[in-house]
Amino acid sequence: MDEKKSLIHGESEWVKISMAVLGSLLYAIGINMFIVPVGLYSGGIMGICQIIRTILIDYMHLPLNQFDIAGIVYYIINIPIFIIAYKKMGKSFFGKTLLCVTTTSLFLSLVSVPKIPILTDDILAASLIGGIISGCGTGFILKMGCSAGGMDIVGLLCMKKNKNFSMGKITLIVNLILYSICLFMFDEKIVIYSIIFAAVTSITIDKVHIQNINVQVTIITRRNIEAMEKDIMTKLVRGVTKWNAKGGYTGQDTSILYIVLSKYEVSYLKKIIKKYDPDAFVVVNEGANIEGNYLKKL
């Protein structure tokens, strides 16, 4: 029975990884097929990589033809971010993120940029379609409990150091700097359409993956809860409130555990619960409004 469960969990994890890789491919298609051909720039660290690419090709005259070096630059920039973040993230998240950054960089290098833009005379449509496709890709990656690196990891590290930070604030600051550079290097038209693309991408990501939906979980169990508590606090890095209770019908002594976490941690929490008490009674409530000392995660 346990072997069958582990196989199901293994299959589930492979499905998540496969969907995350598909997300990487969609992101690369959105960027290379629609955004790069019309000369627009993405937001965040990817946008910085595209500016570096433009400097290398247009100002340093590197003979790269239709090969987009931005994917390689993106991977190189993520290396120091990985080194800094390794101790701050779980091994599972780190491994999946490393896979997603690798596949994203690979797809950005392999998906060829059309010599003639697909939407030659309609930059607005290109920015909208590119934003929807790449936003869906990033959303899939985040929804599967992974990250494409870059601003996701930087934002997570900043939020850990200062609770006043949020992903939105950090992204806004980086994009203000990025598009100020674009305004200096290029004309206003490119900057305006690039901002439209970045806005559509952000909205699409939020639609696919709503970040930090808070979930209240109440666990009622008759088993020894010390080992379960330890796993929750060490592996999920979440606090647990507990109290002793008595069953109204059976009169038996029970324990109640109360945890608040994000919806994307619930599946892992359920695995921990089943490990120690397959018969535990679990109540899950989404959309809790949390104030105070609560750790936001990706």
Give residue-wise pLDDT tens across range 145-168. Answer: 777 777 767 766 666 666 666 555
What is the C-alpha separation between 146 and 94, in angstroms, rounded? Answer: 8
Angle at 190 between CA 184 and CA 196, to 5 degrees: 120
What is the C-alpha separation between 190 and 86, in angstroms, rounded? Answer: 36
Weakest mean pLDDT among 39-48, 234-243, 271-280, 281-290: 281-290
pLDDT of residue 128: 93
Domain ranges of the chain: 2-208, 214-286
Q: pLDDT digits over 175-218, tens only? A: 788 888 888 877 788 888 888 888 888 788 777 766 556 788 88
What is the CATH topology of the domain spanning 214-286?
Alpha-Beta Plaits (3.30.70)
Taking Cα atoms as reference points, which of 28, 146, 48 lies closest to residue 98? 146
Does the structure show a pLDDT above 50 at 6?
no
pLDDT of residue 22: 92
Confidence of residue 220 (pLDDT cuts 50, 70, 90): confident
pLDDT of residue 7: 38
> How is residue 41 written in tokens?
């720039």
> Any residues with CB less than 8 A from the CB of 173 and at least 6 apart, and which?
none
pLDDT of residue 76: 87
Confidence of residue 2 (pLDDT cuts 50, 70, 90): very low
Please answer whether residues 199 and 191 qualify as being in contact, where contact means their C-beta atoms are separated by less than 8 angstroms: no
Q: Where are the alpha helices (DSSP H) in the chain?
A: 2-29, 44-54, 70-85, 91-110, 123-143, 151-161, 167-185, 188-208, 226-235, 266-276
